Structure 1
Amino acid sequence: MSITFRIATTADDQRGPIATINARQLAAFRAFLREESLRTGTVLLDPDAAEDAFLSYHFEARVCPIALAAVTRIFDYQTNVISVVEEAQFRCRRVRVYRVEEGGTINMRVALTSDQGVELDLTPANAYALLEGLGLRPDSVGEIPIDAMRARLANPAVRRRAEEHGVTHYFERLDQLLATADAYDTSRLEWA
């Protein structure tokens, strides 16, 4: 088990667009992502292990570095796929592909993961130490407004406490994560 620190917005609290795709489209999408990864030297598919060589029904993909038309062409420009990819690109997020076992459908939606995957995934012990170092209650689930977190990171007393807890090495990753929140007024740092 781990605790992930990520940026959330009010859009994450709403349902958002979902697209249903078929197995042929899924295979073509994975092949396209692998080709683009090789061409650009950028990892676009996560996870992409050897055992996933044919099909995987549970993965996230970076779509922000790719033109909307190039991605949606694979899906015959389906409007629901366009909605998902466009929303992911607008929000600088990945898309998530998953299979719904009850109906056997394959769905695509906007992921909670940022496009560049700067989320901070820690063991519970390290997460609690970081929260204590930041002067926050060490709970496995919580949230704080972005401005309040930035103020904590800039506070010399908090920095000293973080040094005492041995967690200052996480501050650079937290800064990178908080930088992804600049585009949204409703952003908050949450962990779970």
Structure 2
Amino acid sequence: MSITFRIATAADDQPGPIAKINARQLAAFRIFLREESVRTGTLLLDPDAAEDEFLSYHFEARVCPIALAAISRVFEFQADVIRVVEEAQFRCRRVSVYRIEETGTINLRVAPTSDLGLELDLASANAIALLDGLGLRPDSVGEIPIDTMRARLANPAVRRRAAQHGVATYLARLDQLLAIAAADDTSRLEWA
């Protein structure tokens, strides 16, 4: 089991746009992402291993480095796809492709993952040790406002305690994650 630390906002509490796509569009999207990855030298498709040659229905893709018009063309300028990609780019998030087995539909929506994939995914024992080292309640699910977390990380005593718990190496990654957080009142660090 693992626990993932990520940035969330009020927009994550609302249902976001979802677009239905077909298998032909999905295949074209994967080809487009691979070509753009080669052209730009940026990994855009996750996962995209060599053994993943079959048509995958569960993956995330970076869309922020790509023009909205270029992505929209792949989907024949479908309005609901444009809404999803535009929302993902606005929020600096990836898009998620997934299939609903019961209906067979393929969906595209804004992913909870940041565009750069800075989320911190730790084994449960390490995550609990990190929470304990930060002086937080070591529950497997929780949240804390960004400003409160930044203040906590700025405290030298908290950093010493994290070092004593053997989790100081995760603090730099946590700092990176917090750096992408918007400066509004709804931003929070959550883990689950």
TM over 0.5: yes
Scaled by the length of structure 2, what TM-score is found? Answer: 0.98
1:190 aligned partner, one-letter code? E
Q: Which residue of 1 aligns with 2:24?
A: 24
Please give the alpha-carbon distance, in whole angstroms, between the structure 1 residues aligned to 2:98 and 2:182.
29
Measured against aligned partners, the alpha-carbon deviations of 1:50-94 in whole angstroms (never above 9, x if no partner) come to 232131000000000000000011001010000000000000000
Q: Which sections of structure 1, spanning at least 5 residues, go unmatched?
A: none
Residue 154 of structure 2 corresponds to residue 154 of structure 1: yes
SS of 1:51's partner is coil
1:186 Cα deviation (Å)?
1.1
Q: Which residue of 2 aligns with 1:77?
A: 77
Q: Percent identity?
A: 81
Please give the alpha-carbon distance, in whole angstroms, between the structure 1 residues aligned to 2:71 and 2:117.
20
Please give the alpha-carbon distance, in whole angstroms, between the structure 2 residues aligned to 1:185 and 1:138.
24
Q: Which residue of 1 aligns with 2:164?
A: 164
1:42 aligned partner, one-letter code? T
Measured against aligned partners, the alpha-carbon deviations of 1:116-166 in whole angstroms (never above 9, x if no partner) come to 000000001100110000000110000000000000000111111111111
Alignment: residue pair count: 192
SS of 1:139's partner is coil
Q: Is the 8 A contact 1:27 1:54 kept in 2?
A: no
Q: Residues 2-81 of structure 1 correspond to what in structure 2 (within 5 A)?
A: 2-81=2-81
Please give the alpha-carbon distance, in whole angstroms, between the structure 2 residues aligned to 1:144 and 1:185.
11
Scaled by the length of structure 1, what TM-score is found? Answer: 0.98
CA gap 1:187/1:85 in 2 versus in 1, 3 angstroms = same
Please give the alpha-carbon distance, in whole angstroms, between the structure 2 residues aligned to 1:3 and 1:122.
5
Q: Which sections of structure 2, spanning at least 5 residues, go unmatched?
A: none
